[in-house]
Chains A and B, each alone.
Chain A
Amino acid sequence: MSSESFIFPSPQWAEAFCKALNENPEYREAAKDWVWDVVFVATNVPSTVVNAIAQLMGLSGVTSNAGAMKFKLRNGTCQGSEFYIDASKADADYILEADYSLWKDLIQGKVDPVGAILSRKIRVKKGSFLTLVQFSSAAIKMTNTAMKVPTKFLA
């Protein structure tokens, strides 16, 4: 693994996560029947983080306090990622939204993803809750994968 680490959330982090999913056979097995695009939205992102992302993307005058990452997930693989500084522009079959701090806790292994969904700390804004619940082992493998991505939290 390289010594490089990625700001969360950012286009670079999304790309690294997508790659890490493809390298994880446990995720591939648990998500083999998953065939939908997913957007993860982080809300209440601290301004230091937003400013850093904007700089990374070469944008100026960004007023957002959110970020959205879209992943094209098919049969246990990740076929691409996108990043949106304007979360309202990100659309997919599933949209899962949570506070920046919740995603941070999740990636640091402090929060269980299934519990976070069931307790609605992660809000299922779009998509079938009932289908999602059937993929709880995939959600856990996905979180384990995220924990392996070298991540830099600026706040």
Chain B
Amino acid sequence: MKAATYKGPSKPYLEVKEVPTPKPGPGEILVRVAATGICHSDIHLFKGDFGPVREGFIPGHEISGWVEDFGPDVKNPWGLRKGDPVIVSWIVPDGICKYCASGKENYCPAAAGRMPGLVGINGGHAEYITIPEIAVIPLEKGVDIYYAAPIACAYGTAYHALREAGVGPGTSLVVIGAGGVGLSAIQLASAMGAYPIIAVDIRDFALEKAKELGATHVINSTKEDPISRIRDVLPDGADVIHEARPEPDLKLSMEVVARAGTIVVTGLGGPKSTFTVNVLPFVINGVRIMGSLGYRPRLDLPEIIKLVASGKVDVRKLVSHTYVPEQINEAYENLERGLHARAIVKWG
């Protein structure tokens, strides 16, 4: 099969070549890949921020495709059949630990050691992938399978963060960083009834996209003072701030969060990134600051898929660039230059 494999931490990071097609082992499903997303976490991976990556590793962790084959001992709780459209979660929980039992499967210790395309197991930048069946989630008919790939990362991450922060009808929301996760958050929050939704970024085209996806106000923080603009709209601050930029620092968030408000952070930062928080306003305003990793594959992903299937969230609006496998290094180049809202690579 054709696959994009890791070469090393200097550019070009990847090499597109023929590799053996994997066979599904016990409890695994073979998925024929339709599309994969180009995600900022991959850049961290390529540069070695998550630890050394072996040469030949297949990245790609936002995956959509079709069920191709089943390994032995598959329990198949969703009743999947060959040819069914699915998305593949990069969070692969064991399904049996206390975290899984309490619905926090994104924090399952087993999942931390095996993230397709990120840690341990090969990802989806290929024509096929084998994956433990717990990570395979059916897609509703009628959802565009290619544009569905970002559901398994950008949308999932955004949705879980918004849910954890308590976003619902009438929640005032500020999203800092209108990249893939931030834009997904804006689109989902709009469907969930949040109002107003203020997007902050330094790129005009990203803010244009934010408006298209449901932001009620957009602020280019290189051209306008975001603190005073946000206070004009929300004199008492925002109920929820989503720090979705790659290098979150909480500075703007702490200025504009409402009393008893929540700051939820999904940007991973670099290996040495830290925040500084002024203690007094943090305590007297009862601010909640929380990290949020990924999503709960068996709980969050089906809910997002329903939002998409119902027409409330149009996933085609998020994707700004589509590439063929041979352009994959160019795709990451453009990602690093900040050109994408979200990009996908079509494999099948």
Indicate which residue in B225, B227, B236, B280 contacts A133 across the interface (CB closer than 8 Å): B280
Q: Is A128 within 8 A of B235, CB to CB? A: no
Q: Is the CB of B225 within 8 A of A126?
A: yes
B 247-287 binary contact with A (CB < 8 Å = 1; else 0): 00000001100000000000000000000001011001000
Say whether B228 faces chain A, with CB atoms less than 8 Å apart: yes
- Does any Cβ of B come within 8 Å of A36's Cβ? no
Residues of B near A125 (CB, < 8 A) are: 228, 231-232
Q: In whole Å, how far is B317's beta carbon from the nearest beta carbon of chain A? A: 34
Which of A3-11, A61-69, A99-107, A116-124 binds B?
A: A116-124
Residues of A within 8 A of B280 (CB): 133
Q: Name A123's contact: one of B225, B227, B235, B284 (CB within 8 Å).
A: B235
| Chain A residues near B255 (CB-CB < 8 A) | 128-130
What bracket does the count of chain A residues touching chain B fall in?
Answer: 10 to 19
B278 lies within 8 A of A120 (CB): no
Write the nearest CB–CB distance from B246 to chain A, whole angstroms.
Answer: 23
With both chains docked as a complex, state the minimum distance between the C-beta of B241 and any C-beta of chain A, in angstroms: 14
- Residues of B close to A134: CB separation below 8 A: 278
Chain A contacts for B236, CB-based, 8 A: 120
Q: How far is the CA of A126 from the CA of B278 in the complex (A)?
A: 19
Report if A38 contacts B (CB, 8 A). no
A118 with B227, Cβ < 8 A, contacts A123-B235, A129-B255, A130-B254 known? no
Q: Provided the pairs A118-B284, A120-B235, A120-B236 are in contact, do residues A127 and B278 lie with their beta carbons within 8 angstroms? A: no
Find the A residue at minimum CB distance from B231. A125
- Is the Cβ of A126 less than 8 Å from the Cβ of B281? no
Give chain A residues whose Cβ lies under 8 Å from the Cβ of B227.
Answer: 126-129
Q: Known A120-B235, A123-B235; judge A130-B281 contact (CB<8 A).
A: yes
Q: Which residue of B lies closest to A123 (CB)?
A: B235
Q: Are B228 and A129 in contact (CB under 8 A)?
A: no
**Contact B231 A123, beta carbon cutoff 8 Å:** yes
Shortest Cβ distance from residue B184 to the other chain A in the assembled complex, whole angstroms: 29
The reply on A42 being an interface residue by CB < 8 A is no
The distance in angstroms between the C-alpha atoms of A129 and B227, with both chains bound, is: 9
Q: Which residues of A contact B (CB under 8 A)?
A: 95, 118, 120, 123-130, 133-134
Q: What would 25 A/B residue contacts be, using CB atoms closer than 8 Å?
A: A95-B228, A120-B235, A120-B236, A123-B231, A123-B235, A124-B231, A125-B228, A125-B231, A125-B232, A126-B225, A126-B227, A126-B228, A126-B231, A127-B228, A128-B255, A129-B227, A129-B281, A130-B254, A130-B255, A130-B278, A130-B281, A133-B278, A133-B280, A133-B281, A134-B278
